[in-house]
A and B are shown apart, each in its own frame.
Chain A
Amino acid sequence: MSGLNVQLGGQTVLHHVDFSIDPGEIVTIVGPNGSGKSTLLRAIIGAVEPSAGAVTCKPGLRIGYVPQKLHIDPTLPMTVRRFLDLPQRVDDEAARDALDEAGAGALSGRQMSGLSGGQFQRVLLARALLSKPELLILDEATQGLDQPGSAAFYQKIAEVRDHLGCAVLMVSHELHVVMAASDRVVCLNGHVCCQGEPEHVASAPEYRALFGTGTGGALALYRHEHHHSHDHDHDHGHEAAE
């Protein structure tokens, strides 16, 4: 996409975003709340119209999409197997393969509303895989999973990429996990702040301006490997924010 602007409710959520993804690449978008991460994904799948700029895809690009969360109304009965048939019916073998691939092999006959969070995400992944996607898009797909659960999920994504050779574009809050699993990280805050290999981004001043304070825990530890002084980080952050 080039020079992409998106306005929602009169506010410019994304301005002048230039961004591209190559086949087989795993790219993660990080950014604070309200930075337009989900909007960027929704622009790619065509759910929001850009007010300027354009999204250019390879003609006939097959996209598999795993939404941030999927609320299935309890009044809607839906087995896992039936869910995989949406919007196009698939044969049983393809459905079984996709479930196996996503690590949800045993769930076929279960009701969607009875699945645990991790099972649900795996079924969503299986459904996205059915179209043999060339681009797999995941919007905070591990929300609500515990740390081992989301680590296992990202492991699965990497396997899927190796197996299908598809590009993967995902949004995540779990910086430490994502950093390890991505080829490239894009730091977004209304515009692309910085991007590059995970190590490069983690040490970029723009990145630390956004995440330098308050994230704590694992991220601070992660950053510590590269920088030695907290004070230094702090100052740097302020400068970058100017």
Chain B
Amino acid sequence: MTLLDDFLVRATLAGLGLVLAAAPLGCFVVWRRMAYFGDATAHAAILGVALALAFDTSVFGGVLVVSLLMAFTVSSLSNRGYAMDTLLGVLAHSALAFGLVAVSFLHGVRVDLMAYLFGDILAVGVPNLAVIWGGAALVLGLLWWRWSALLTATLNPDLAFAAGIDPRREQLVLTLALALVVAVAIKVVGVLLIAAMLIVPAATARPFATTPERMALAAIVIGALAVIGGLQASLEWDTPTGPSIVCLAAILFTVSSVAQALFGRSRP
């Protein structure tokens, strides 16, 4: 365990675990135009934190339950005629507001909301690592198992129906995975940065990819670069770690977009 005694090693491992799950999942979020879904689920997580503290249960459990509830609500309502972005806007902001109000009812408990909003990857302990890698393995397994069905349902729901796949079930699988990622990641990068880690690596990977699988792999590599580089940069310049990681991911995105504009095939 000597290696894990180093806080930097633990932080790097935590970040890599997150990327392993978030990057491929983020590809689906991008393909299905659900970018705000990550936001909404992440905002709901604050409510989960408040409830967990109120009932004195584990934060992970509280966040997971509320994120799942949020995900199921969005999934079921989206089939009832509301546009996805409207629905997510309503739910994301109300969940965050209810969460903040709920936190104010907690007497005698000093909640460091900042820690949950922005995360504290440097404070990750060995038990947290186990949760993150366990969650990441679960999400990866889920994606691996449903990959083809998920892709078909993403392309076109009717195409999925004709092939005997129920696209509603596949959407449920995705929302489940998303809730899981939020629950394991809240300690690491915090709710506000989870959505960024879902979407930015996937968007950065797009110009380099010719197939969905390559895009997912490239997103993992890019996310890993952002984690490792962001941690080093934050040490070097004494900047906040979570935002540094996202900043580096954003810089990589810019480089990738410019590279595509300069050398890319605009019509592949």
Residues of A participating in the B interface, judged by any CB pair closer than 8 Å: 9, 42, 45-47, 63-65, 67, 70-73, 75-79, 82, 85-89, 111, 113-114, 131, 137
For the complex formed, measure the closest distance between the CB of A58 and the CB atoms of chain B, giving whole angstroms: 15
For the complex formed, measure the closest distance between the CB of B202 and the CB atoms of chain A, giving whole angstroms: 8
For the complex formed, measure the closest distance between the CB of A83 and the CB atoms of chain B, giving whole angstroms: 8
Cα(A137)–Cα(B161), bound, Å: 13
Contact B268 A76 (CB under 8 A): no
Which residues of A are found within 8 Å of B32, using beta-carbon distances?
Answer: 73
Q: Which residue of B lies closest to A65 (CB)?
A: B162
Per the 8 Å Cβ criterion, residues 12-45 of B in contact with A are 30-33
Contact B148 A45 (CB under 8 A): no
Stretch at the interface among B109-117, B206-214, B229-237, B245-253: B206-214
Q: Which residue of A lies closest to B209 (CB)?
A: A77
Per the 8 Å Cβ criterion, residues 30-89 of B in contact with A are 30-33, 81
Contact A45 B161 (CB under 8 A): yes
Neighbour of B268 across the interface among A75, A85, A88, A113, CB < 8 A: A113
Which residues of A are found within 8 Å of B215, using beta-carbon distances?
Answer: 76-77
Per the 8 Å Cβ criterion, residues 209-268 of B in contact with A are 209-212, 214-215, 267-268
Q: A114-B267, A137-B162 are in contact. Are A73 and B31 (CB under 8 A)?
A: yes
Main secondary structure of the interface of A (DSSP, over half): loop
Q: A70-B155, A75-B31, A77-B206 are in contact. Are A42 and B211 (CB under 8 A)?
A: no
Contact B212 A82 (CB under 8 A): yes
Which residues of B are found within 8 Å of A113, using beta-carbon distances?
Answer: 267-268
- B152 part of interface (Cβ distance < 8 Å): yes
Number of A-B contacts (CB under 8 A): 82
Most B CB contacts (10 A, CB to CB) among A42, A47, A86 go to A86
Cα(A114)–Cα(B268), bound, Å: 6
- B9 part of interface (Cβ distance < 8 Å): no
- B126 part of interface (Cβ distance < 8 Å): no
- Interface range on chain B (Cβ under 8 Å from partner): 20 to 34
Q: A87-B160, A111-B268, A113-B268 are in contact. Are A77 and B214 (CB under 8 A)?
A: yes
Q: Which residue of A lies closest to B160 (CB)?
A: A87
Contact B156 A70 (CB under 8 A): yes
Q: Which residue of A lies closest to B162 (CB)?
A: A65
Which residues of B are found within 8 Å of A75, using beta-carbon distances?
Answer: 30-31, 202-203, 206
Contact B155 A86 (CB under 8 A): yes
Neighbour of A67 across the interface among B30, B158, B210, B268, CB < 8 A: B158
Q: Which residue of A lies closest to B215 (CB)?
A: A77
For the complex formed, measure the closest distance between the CB of A195 and the CB atoms of chain B, giving whole angstroms: 24
Cα(A131)–Cα(B161), bound, Å: 14
Cα(A29)–Cα(B113), bound, Å: 60
Per the 8 Å Cβ criterion, residues 126-180 of B in contact with A are 148-149, 151-152, 154-165
Q: Which residue of B lies closest to A77 (CB)?
A: B209
Which residues of B are found within 8 Å of A70, using beta-carbon distances?
Answer: 155-156, 159
Contact B155 A88 (CB under 8 A): no
Contact A88 B81 (CB under 8 A): no
Which residues of A are found within 8 Å of B30, using beta-carbon distances?
Answer: 73, 75
Most A CB contacts (10 A, CB to CB) among B31, B162, B165, B212 go to B162
